[in-house]
Amino acid sequence: MIAILSPNYNPYFNIALEYYLLHELDEDILLVYRNETSVIVGKHQNAFAEANQQFIHQANIPLVRRISGGGTVFHDLGNINITIIRKGKLKFMDLLQPIREVLYKLNIETEISEKNDLLVDKKKITGTAAHIYKEKTLHHATLLYNASQEILHKSLNGKKECFIDKGVRSRPSPTINLIDCLNVNYTNEQFADFMWNELKQMYGVENVYKLNEHDVSVVNDLVKNKFSSWNWNYAFSPSFEFVNSIFEEGVLIQLSIQVKNGCIEKATLVNNGKTYELTVLNTLPFIQLELINTLSDWSKKNCPTLKLSSFEKLLKF
């Protein structure tokens, strides 16, 4: 087995790096990386529903779709990501047990939940996911050391109830940071180094591999052409219907939008009992600001009782 410590904190790069290593390298691999603040959604999830789009847009937090299934997670530099790539069918214990043993050295006892999470005092510190490619399996896990709990909860607090779809839904769990469980305060960097060195020993790593110029070039191409694209991160979401209602001055206003491949197929607005077919939205990408501005312009001629603020409320998710 070889070990790779990613030299990059860019979430697009590291998600693309996992893809590259799984597809292009033949060795068994231990990969450890940290990402700057980001929201990472599972391959089969509705990205629009899984995050608070308004908050992450205002906070300039990227949303990135990974290649594995499972639910949405929050990353920042206080979170460590551990990936194992091996030939054959792996068990989650092959990933979780070494992490548990390292934490036990720090006098932290963990338990494994039915979702293959690691818990401390019934609170989540680790979530896991997997992806199979030909005869190889990728398993990866998060490890909350000193992540921003405030930004985590704000980022993942989307209005899931407004979305009707068949995508994989996240099942939120109470979380805790490991820094709150330790008697000694490591910095984020110190704890990441500790985990890196301990895991190399646990897996009997024979060689530390440093990415070369070719590796980095190919990964950057994957970032540019796939992993940073709106088509992959958002339009890859399963088809869905977005429905939201508000009351203004005692009048019910309801917006319904059907979306496929990230773009609108049909939309209707009900205002005070009257139904409007919003053909002006057809084929537009399902992007909050663009939809709000388009509907605000449309209403000036077709439904002047509705203001910009009305559409901001209807499309708040």
**pLDDT tens, 209-224?**
999 999 999 999 999 9
Q: For residue 199, give both structure tokens.
A: 């895991």
CA distance 54 to 37: 16
Same domain, 283 and 149: no
Same domain, 115 and 16: yes
Is-contact 11 62, C-beta < 8 A?
yes
Domain membership of residue 198 as a residue range: 2-235
Same domain, 227 and 245: no
Is-contact 243 162, C-beta < 8 A?
yes
In this prediction, residue 68 carries a pLDDT of 97
Global pTM?
0.94
Residue 290 corresponds to which amino acid? Answer: E
Same domain, 276 and 231: no
- At 290, the pLDDT band (50, 70, 90 cuts) reads very high
Contacts 24+ apart (CB under 8 A), 301-307: 302/276, 303/269, 303/271, 303/276, 305/271, 305/272, 306/253, 306/271
In this prediction, residue 185 carries a pLDDT of 84
Q: What mean pLDDT is predicted for residues 143-155?
A: 97
CA distance 262 to 235: 4
What are the tens digits of pLDDT across the range 50-74?
A: 999 999 999 999 999 999 999 999 9
Same domain, 264 and 138: no
Same domain, 51 and 193: yes
In this prediction, residue 211 carries a pLDDT of 97
CA distance 310 to 159: 17
pLDDT beyond 90 at 39: yes
In this prediction, residue 42 carries a pLDDT of 97
Given 235, 258, 290, which residue is the final one in a domain?
235
Same domain, 188 and 62: yes
Is-contact 278 303, C-beta < 8 A?
no
- At 90, the pLDDT band (50, 70, 90 cuts) reads confident
67 contact partners, CB below 8 Å, separation of at least 6: 15, 18, 19, 22, 43, 131, 138
Given 218, 235, 252, which residue is the final one in a domain?
235
pLDDT beyond 90 at 33: yes
Same domain, 254 and 230: no
Percentage of the chain surpassing pLDDT 90?
A: 92
Q: Give the per-residue SS3 of the chain.
A: CEEEECCCCCHHHHHHHHHHHHHHCCCCEEEEECCCCEEEECCCCCHHHHCCHHHHHHCCCCEEECCCCCCCEEECCCEEEEEEEEECCCCCHHHHHHHHHHHHCCCCCCEECCCCCEEECCEEEECEEEEEECCEEEEEEEEECCCCHHHHHHHCCCCHHHEEECCCCCCCCCECCHHHHCCCCCCHHHHHHHHHHHHHHHCCCCEECCCCHHHHHHHHHHHHHHHCCHHHHHHCCCCEEEEEEEEECCEEEEEEEEEECCEEEEEEEEECCEEEECHHHCCCECCHHHHHHHHHHHHHHHCCCCCHHHHHHHCCC
In this prediction, residue 100 carries a pLDDT of 97
Q: What mean pLDDT is predicted for residues 271-282?
A: 96
pLDDT beyond 90 at 172: no
pLDDT beyond 90 at 145: yes
Same domain, 7 and 112: yes
CATH number of the structural domain spanning residue 284: 3.30.390
pLDDT beyond 90 at 6: yes
Given 208, 235, 262, which residue is the final one in a domain?
235
Q: For residue 150, give both structure tokens.
A: 């405030």
Tally the domains of the chain.
2
Q: What mean pLDDT is predicted for residues 166-172?
A: 86
Task: Please state, as a whole number, how many other Cβ atoms lie within 10 Å of the Cβ of residue 286.
Answer: 24
CATH number of the structural domain spanning residue 66: 3.30.930.10
Same domain, 148 and 285: no
Same domain, 37 and 139: yes
- At 234, the pLDDT band (50, 70, 90 cuts) reads very high
Same domain, 58 and 183: yes
pLDDT beyond 90 at 91: no
Distances (CA, A) of 85 to 112, 143, 173: 21, 18, 27
Report the mean per-residue pLDDT for the chain.
95
pLDDT beyond 90 at 206: no
